[in-house]
A and B are shown apart, each in its own frame.
Chain A
Amino acid sequence: MSTTAEMLLTVEHLTMRFGGLVAIDDLSFEARNREITSIIGPNGAGKTTVFNCLTGFYKPTVGRLILNHPKSGNTYFLERMEGFKVAQVAHVGRTFQNIRLFGQMSVLENLIVAQHNVLMKASKFSIAGLLRLPVYMRAEREAIDLATYWMDKVGLTDKADWDSQNLPYGDQRRLEIARAMCTRPVMLCLDEPAAGLNPRESLELNDLLVSIRDDHGIGLLLIEHDMSVVMGISDHIVVLDHGRKIADGDPAAVREDPAVIKAYLGEEEDEELPPEVAQDLATSGTGGKP
Chain B
Amino acid sequence: MAYFIQQLINGLTLGAIYGLIAIGYTMVYGIIGMINFAHGEIYMIGAFLAIISYLVFGDMGIVSIPILLMGMLVISMIFTAAYGWTVERLAYRPLRGSFRLAPLISAIGMSIALQNYVQISQGARVKPIQPVVQGGFQLFTQGGFAVQITYLQIVIWVLTTALMVGFTYLITQTSLGRQQRACEQDRKMASLIGVNVDRTISLTFVLGAALAAVAGLITTLYYGVIDFYVGFLAGMKAFTAAVLGGIGSLPGAMLGGLMIGLIEAFWSAYFTIEYKDVATFGILVLVLIFKPTGFLGKPEVEKV
State the A residues within 8 Å of B (CB): 55-57, 83-88, 93-94, 96, 100-105, 109, 112-114, 116-117, 119-120, 123, 126, 129-130, 179-180, 183
Within 8 Å CB of A179, what residues of B? Answer: 193
Q: Mark B180-192, 1 if CB is under 8 A from A, else 0.
A: 0110011011111
B193-A55 in contact (CB<8A): no
C-alpha spacing A218/B158, complex, angstroms:
52
B194-A102 in contact (CB<8A): no
A84-B186 in contact (CB<8A): no
B194-A87 in contact (CB<8A): yes
Chain B residue with Cβ nearest A119: B175
C-alpha spacing A96/B196, complex, angstroms:
20
B174-A114 in contact (CB<8A): no
C-alpha spacing A88/B190, complex, angstroms:
11
- Ordered by A's residue number, 10 sampled pairs between the chains whose C-beta atoms are within 8 Å are A83-B188, A83-B197, A84-B197, A87-B192, A102-B186, A109-B178, A113-B179, A116-B194, A120-B175, A123-B174
A87-B174 in contact (CB<8A): no
**Given known contacts A83-B192, A87-B191, A179-B193, is B174 in contact with A102 (CB within 8 Å)?**
no
Within 8 Å CB of B181, what residues of A? Answer: 102, 104-105, 113
B194-A88 in contact (CB<8A): yes
Residue B176 lies at the interface, judged by CB distance under 8 Å to chain A: yes
B192-A116 in contact (CB<8A): no
Residue B69 lies at the interface, judged by CB distance under 8 Å to chain A: no
Chain B proximity of A100: nearest CB distance (Å): 4
Q: Which label, helix, strand, loop or mixed, suits the secondary structure of the A interface?
A: helix
**Given known contacts A102-B185, A105-B181, is B176 in contact with A120 (CB within 8 Å)?**
yes
With A105-B185, A123-B175 given, name 16 new contacts (CB 8 A).
A84-B191, A84-B196, A85-B194, A87-B192, A87-B193, A100-B189, A104-B181, A105-B181, A113-B178, A113-B182, A120-B175, A120-B176, A126-B174, A179-B193, A183-B193, A183-B194
Chain A residue with Cβ nearest B166: A130
Chain B residue with Cβ nearest A110: B182
C-alpha spacing A285/B285, complex, angstroms:
73
A126-B176 in contact (CB<8A): yes
B185-A112 in contact (CB<8A): no
A88-B196 in contact (CB<8A): yes
C-alpha spacing A88/B197, complex, angstroms:
12
**Given known contacts A84-B196, A94-B192, is B185 in contact with A116 (CB within 8 Å)?**
no
Chain A proximity of B85: nearest CB distance (Å): 15
B175-A129 in contact (CB<8A): yes
C-alpha spacing A74/B112, complex, angstroms:
50
Residue B195 lies at the interface, judged by CB distance under 8 Å to chain A: yes
Chain A proximity of B295: nearest CB distance (Å): 18
Chain B proximity of A95: nearest CB distance (Å): 9
Chain B proximity of A140: nearest CB distance (Å): 8
Chain B proximity of A127: nearest CB distance (Å): 11
C-alpha spacing A153/B182, complex, angstroms:
24
